[in-house]
């Protein structure tokens, strides 16, 4: 698979790079960003953490605003940030910000017209890691984290595939999408009206019945404007209590839904993952 390097920036002794490639899973051209820490300069393989961004974001938001590179470089961790959805002139879209391009929701769509391109679940779980691990000096040790819609995606990926990830964390995740407007809109469009199919993409439902446990960390701002109607962390807490899941959920007074919040606690998340990646 050919990669086109579209941008390079040196950062904390390492490199933050952006690439474009053709995705067979999504049937379109895709982009991703990768931060390679300085330890990779001599070919040393390092573990990788996948970051999934939220609604309206691209592969660039986290790398520019998240403030992760300094700690990632010190720990010797690569970070990969894919785009949030398929892109292109022939890719289905919607006029609203919470459906279509920028809002792939990390599911495998089964409904037309979305099912031609919107298979972000398979892309993040299979195609992208295979590409990363065969192209860059990274090991097969992986963790995953994300924000909002991406926090939903990260939790679902880890809960459904505990053998693939050492740890999972999220900032302000959409924790119970079957019971919030963002989730109901996206899941209806992408998966259809049969709500039984939605459960495979709901972190609270998955956590309640989990029997293989991936250590999980969640940070939620108490001043988040989407807290009550869209995010529903209380559903995730109840699920963890019911199943005995190793979830640590921090409620952060005064913090909102922005990257100011993410940048404030990103190093805590990287240290959490480093502990489970045996660094």
Residues annotated as catalytic are 148, 224, 257
Reduce the secondary structure of the chain to three states and give it as a string.
CCEEEEEEEEECCEEEEEEEEEECCCCEEEEEEEEECHHHHHCCCEEEEEEECCCCCCCHHHHHHCCCHHHHHHHCCEEEEECCCCCCCCCCCCCCCCCECCECCCCECCCCCHHHCCEHHHHHHHHHHHHHHHHCCEEEEEEEEEECHHHHHHHHHHHHCCCCCCCEEEECCCCCHHHCHHHHHHHHHHHCCCHHHHHHHCHHHHHHCCCCCCCEEEEEECCCCCHHHHHCHHHHHHHHHHHCCCEEEEEECCCCCCHHHHHHHHHHHHHHHHHHCCC
């Amino acid at each position: 698979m050919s990669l086109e390097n579209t941008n390079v920036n040196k950062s904390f002794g390492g490199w933050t790079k952006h690439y474009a490639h053709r995705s067979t899973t999504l049937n379109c051209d895709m982009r991703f960003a990768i931060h390679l820490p300085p330890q990779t300069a001599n070919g040393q393989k390092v573990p990788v953490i996948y970051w999934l961004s939220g609604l309206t974001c691209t592969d660039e938001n986290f790398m520019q605003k998240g403030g992760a590179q300094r700690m990632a470089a010190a720990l010797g961790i690569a970070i990969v940030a894919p785009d949030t959805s398929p892109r292109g002139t022939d890719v289905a879209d919607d006029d609203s910000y919470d459906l279509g391009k920028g809002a792939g929701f990390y599911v495998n769509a089964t409904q037309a017209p979305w099912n031609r391109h919107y298979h972000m679940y398979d892309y993040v779980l299979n195609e992208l890691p295979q590409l990363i691990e065969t192209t860059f000096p990274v090991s097969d040790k992986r963790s995953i984290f994300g924000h909002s819609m991406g926090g939903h995606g990260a939790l679902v990926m880890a809960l459904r595939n505990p053998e693939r990830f050492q740890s999972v964390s999220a900032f302000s995740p959409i924790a119970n999408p079957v019971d919030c407007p963002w989730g109901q809109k996206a899941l209806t469009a992408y998966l259809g009206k049969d709500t039984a199919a939605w459960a495979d993409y709901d972190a609270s439902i998955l956590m309640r019945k989990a029997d293989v446990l991936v250590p999980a960390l969640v940070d939620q701002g108490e001043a988040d404007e989407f807290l009550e109607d869209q995010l529903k962390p209380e559903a995730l807490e109840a699920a963890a209590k019911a199943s005995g899941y190793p979830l640590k959920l921090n409620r952060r007074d005064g913090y909102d839904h922005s990257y100011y919040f993410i940048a404030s606690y990103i190093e805590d998340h990287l240290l959490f993952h480093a502990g489970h990646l045996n660094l």
